């Protein structure tokens, strides 16, 4: 008799669900789809960032059909983990019913870091760097979850988010 293994339901949460959380959902679906059922959402909806779509496509991951949403738009999903991928989402993280454990894994905000740059390679290089950092994080899942939860619980002062608050 074959044993059915249920996938971990993981929500990647960001401020606007336009870039970092979308990338994380795409990577999780591509790299960990056998063990993770990924979702993404934002505290607000900002629409999907075209530069995020472009750099993910360069890496062979199509997120063009994903769309910006809030946790309420996802319905009554019982998440196992909620991963906040920015400081703002970590500070404003809503309460999730059930057993959801919140884990913070902050990444720089490409739109904020590149807002002064014209479209082109210099701007895209920032998106690519963050894309690759998110991939490296997703590659460590789900093993990293328990380590992060233990580290966050034992830390008297949580480390500040990497990106600046706006």
8 Å CB contact between 80 and 10: yes
Please pick, among 31, 59, 77, 93, the residue that the annotation labels catalytic. 93
Choosing from 10, 11, 13, 14, the catalytic residue is 14
Catalytic site includes residue 19: no
Is residue 93 annotated as part of the catalytic site, yes or no? yes
What is the pTM for the complete model shown?
A: 0.86
Beta carbons of 38 and 12 less than 8 angstroms apart: yes
pLDDT digit string (tens) for the chain, length 166 residues: 566 668 999 999 999 999 999 999 999 999 999 999 999 999 999 999 999 999 999 999 999 999 999 999 999 999 999 999 998 888 887 888 778 999 999 999 999 999 999 999 999 999 999 999 999 999 999 998 877 666 666 665 444 444 433 3
Q: Is the dihedral of CA 101, 11, 127, 60 positive or negative?
A: positive
The phi-psi region of residue 74 (left if phi > 0; otherwise alpha if psi is between -120 and 50; otherwise beta) is alpha
CA angle 19, 43, 71 (to 5 degrees): 95
- The reply to whether 14 belongs to the active site is yes
- Cα radius of gyration (the chain): 16
Q: Which one is catalytic: 56, 86, 124, 126?
A: 86
Reduce the DSSP state of residue 57 to 3 states and report it: helix
Q: What are phi and psi of 70, to 5 degrees?
A: -105, 165
């Amino acid at each position: 008799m074959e044993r059915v293994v249920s996938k971990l339901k993981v929500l990647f949460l960001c401020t606007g669900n336009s870039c970092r959380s979308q990338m994380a959902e795409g990577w999780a679906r591509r790299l960990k789809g056998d063990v993770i059922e990924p979702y993404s959402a934002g505290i607000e909806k900002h629409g999907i960032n075209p530069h995020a779509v472009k750099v993910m496509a360069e890496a062979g991951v199509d997120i063009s059909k994903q769309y910006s949403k809030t946790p309420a738009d996802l319905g009554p999903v019982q998440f196992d983990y909620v991963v906040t991928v920015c400081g703002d989402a970590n500070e404003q993280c809503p309460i999730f019913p059930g057993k959801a454990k919140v884990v913070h894994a902050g990444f720089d905000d490409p739109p904020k870091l590149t807002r002064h740059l014209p479209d082109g390679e210099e701007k895209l290089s920032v998106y690519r760097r963050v894309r690759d950092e998110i991939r490296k994080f997703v590659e460590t899942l789900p093993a990293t979850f328990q380590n992060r939860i233990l580290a966050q619980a034992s830390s008297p002062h949580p480390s500040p988010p990497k990106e600046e608050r706006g």
